[in-house]
Structure 1
């Protein structure tokens, strides 16, 4: 054998030995990696954490989409609210200018209606501007730790007469004296009064109940480290009462003058204002079907499926020695 044959032999042996080492070590490495993956509790915990985070992100995305859709109709809602009093104002003036009134007394009557419509326009604009200024920070909220019981007592005083005039029972449950919230006292009272006022209508069946309960801290509510206090306003009004189309400009206008004479904002506009104010206090407003277990005692089980609940979540606060309530 010459030197080239010895070289070929050495090269072949080297390649064979390398292949043997690679083939024999490959299954062992795979098995060790697989056993490490299966037996590692840290990896399982990481996977579970990622799944929970993904679920929270999906929930937050859905809530953000719903909120954007609700806010998308802001201009349409304002236009809808202003259209009725403006039509009343123009109609009253046209009757006078075209000489269709029989006597001066009738002219004064239409002038009075026009004045009422103008005042309603000012009232609507004032309420919207108040909320807008608060949202922009021009008139910032005064967030303090306040006892929820005091706010509910004030809300009951402001709404009791209206409920009694409509022969509607208003039952506000007692609040634990140790329950405090961090909120603006004035605006939180206004939000709850608005919610109850919306539920008090001429066609409201049964009673209206207001209850409070604790909600533990949740991962999707980082703004409430001590949990929330849930204020539930239960009523027999159907869910359709709170539902309005986003674009009011496409709705057919009728000659009904009831809207012109109604001094109150619509349910949709009130909801928009309340949702905006609660968000500024790190709160949340939801409209949910009333659970059968929470239905008021009315003696008519057929009303329960159509009942609804206005649910307000307010971050709970822990009072301190220097708390200014």
Structure 2
């Protein structure tokens, strides 16, 4: 069940893409807009600076031109000695020919202060500033307070100058003054996007000579709202040497009206009125910030449209990418959630277009395979545990039976003797002998249990030494000959004449061979048992001897053969219960052989087709062995040592049983064997082997048969 706080993969993809893309887009557009604004302002300042330089050049050139024209006119014959009518016509004609910023020409008599001729009426354009320069031009500005002398103030025409030049008669006397009024600058309304700017002219003393607001012309900048900024500009401009007309852009924004911001560029020119060194006029070109940023609104509109378009595109892209990325995850999720209902052959989804998802699918597939393998292992382990539990129960029942029967026999025999129910001394000895044999058999079962517990605890060890395997085999065959004889089986032996040197624990190896040959005897009712040795090379190309024990007995189904070397396991309870045994013999044998560096295997073609057991041990250098003596066991069997193929057990003479009885009727040789070998109770000394007699004498006693049957079960 999905928790309320969780979100789907698709929704997370869409929201994360938008949350990542939209802020970045908006931030980028804000940065771009600010960059565009700063670029436009920088461009505006540069253009205004160039405009200020251009305006300064035009003012300087216009003043120089007017001065030249005025001097030329003052030196003409008509002006100097012509009649009043001629002078009037001439001035009118010249006023039309002079530049458009010339407003008026007047010829004034210096003595009478009367207007001799004028192109703009009978009013003086300005008061004369006497004395006039002898051969120069006097220039003065017309400020608003003085504008009353010239008539109505024109708000558009500013920076009005009056040029005065002396006029001499033919006698060289100063008679007249020729005045010229000019408006050097005309304020125009700036068109949107135009960066020419309005003109602001400030004299060195701070007097405003031209201003976009006509009311401020003639005032000092100290009365201006932006006095501090204007004073800073004037100070910077005056600090520059006049080596030409140069300009600077002002990063300071001006304000002429409330809420209006201006951008300015400025330059400085020499004062054309005083002509004194170091005095300047400051020419400013100013425009509003809105005019400087003309076109920014269009950029904003484009950016807004672009933002909306990109957000829409990002939304569509995220909606497209979300299923593209989420579909593989959802397929893998559905496969994982429904894994229990999938068939074994159904593969994990793959062939995605994204490599990482294919790698994830491959990892999930490998994980599923591992889980299946682990599940199979768990199932096998569960079945094995179930089987082991069944085997445990079967083993407990078998062991209880194996322990109970010998104990009952021992108890009954001892009670019969103890209660004096025997007819004679021989019968008492017979019962004691049977109790002794049964006790030895019971001791063998207990030894097997102790051995297997040592094996499982990893404490079972062997003491290896160079031995003659052929001698050990002959001794074991001698021990098992009685059992073979009693069942009427043929014994086929092929051991060769030479000794077989191996490094092994003689007692443990003898125990293994007794178990293997005893099993062959136990499970063979008729036929033969073949014991042979052969030299072979192992996988490491080293020499080894292989002991093969083959019988023609019960055989084992191939499907059951893998169970044989497990502890407590017997192939078939209904079959094996026909025979004695706990199912520990082969497990103990395998561990002992492996501890001695060898191996043991079992082969059978099936039921009633016999069994072959192979024991392989590595060969060692035979020089460490003592010269073997001729085995006496074959003398008792009635055969000579050699390579004869078949030895008939049935033809062997019955061994003569030589027993000495003491006062208690116990076999004397058996007692002597115990004393001679200094054996104590196995359970006290943890000795899991008990040789009741020296090896050559064991076949001579019936108790040897019990010893031989210690571990004879499969």
TM-score by length of 2: 0.29
Aligned CA RMSD, in angstroms, stands at 6.0
Give the alignment partner of residue 588 of structure 2, picking from 262, 270, 276. Answer: 276
Distance 1:88 1:235, change over 3 A: same
Tell me which structure has the larger Cα radius of gyration.
Answer: 2
Question: In the alignment, does 2:514 pair up with 1:193?
Answer: yes
Q: Does 1:171 align with 2:171?
A: no
Q: Which runs of 5+ in 2 are unaligned?
A: 1-300, 329-350, 363-368, 557-569, 627-714
The residue aligned with 1:245 is 573
Q: Once the 2 structures are TM-superposed, how far is the Cα of residue 112 of structure 1 from its aligned partner?
A: 2.3
In structure 2, the partner of 1:124 is 441
Tell me whether 1:30 sits opposite 2:352 in the alignment. Answer: yes
Question: Judging changes above 3 Å, is the alpha-carbon distance between structure 1 residues 192 and 309 closer, same or farther for their aligned structure 2 residues?
Answer: same
Contact 1:287–1:311 under 8 Å retained in 2: yes
What is the count of residue pairs matched by the alignment?
272
Corresponding residue number in structure 1 for 2:316: 16
Structure 1 residue 11: Cα displacement: 0.3
Q: Per the alignment, in what secondary structure is the counterpart of residue 530 of structure 2?
A: strand
Change in Cα spacing, 1:317 to 1:78, as seen in structure 2 (3 Å) is same
Q: SS at the partner of 2:527?
A: coil
Q: Distance in 1 between matches of 2:546 and 2:304?
A: 90
User: Aligned match of 2:611 in 306, 309, 325?
Assistant: 309
Distance 2:614 2:387 in 1: 17
Q: Distance in 2 between matches of 1:65 and 1:211?
A: 40
Flag the 1:123–1:17 CA change in 2: closer, same or farther, 3 A: same
- Could you say which residue in structure 1 is the equivalent of 2:474? 156
TM superposition shift of 1:119 = 1.1
Structure 1 unaligned regions, length at least 5: 41-47, 218-223, 252-258, 260-265, 293-304
User: How far apart are 1:196 and its partner, in Å?
Assistant: 1.0
Which deviations, in whole Å up to 9, do the C-alpha atoms of 1:47-73 show, x marking residues without a partner?
Answer: x99999999999999888767765665
> Which residue of the partner structure matches residue 210 of structure 1?
531
Say if 1:72 and 1:186 are closer, same or farther in 2 by CA, change over 3 A. Answer: farther
Q: Is the 8 A contact 1:144 1:184 kept in 2?
A: yes
CA separation of 1:142 and 1:68: change in aligned 2, threshold 3 A: farther
Asked if the contact 2:476–2:510 (Cα under 8 Å) also holds between the matched residues in 1, the reply is no
Contact 1:156 / 1:172 at 8 angstroms: preserved in 2?
A: no
Q: Normalized per residue, which structure has more helix?
A: 1
Does the 8 Å contact 1:287/1:308 carry over to 2? no
User: Which structure's relative contact order is higher, taking Cα pairs within 8 Å and 6+ residues apart?
Assistant: 1
Aligned-partner Cα distance in 2 for 1:117–1:287 = 34
Tell which deviates more after alignment, 163-172 or 133-142.
133-142
Quote the residue 1:111 is aligned against.
428
Alignment partners' CA distance in 2, 1:244 and 1:173:
32
* Distance in 2 between residues matched to 1:115 and 1:209, nearest whole Å: 36
Map 1:12-161 → 2, pairs under 5 A: 12-17=312-317, 30=352, 33=355, 73-92=394-413, 106-131=423-448, 132=450, 136=454, 141-144=461-464, 150-160=468-478, 161=481
- The answer as to whether partners of 1:215 and 1:228 remain within 8 angstroms in 2 is yes
Distance 1:72 1:284, change over 3 A: farther
Separation of aligned partners in 2, 1:55 and 1:183: 40
1: distance between equivalents of 2:382 and 2:460? Answer: 28
TM-score normalised by structure 1 residue count = 0.54
Distance 2:383 2:550 in 1: 25
| Whole-angstrom CA distance in 1 between matches of 2:443 and 2:485 | 28
3-state DSSP of counterpart to 2:462:
coil
- Residues 1:321 and 1:108: Cα distance change in structure 2 (over 3 Å): closer
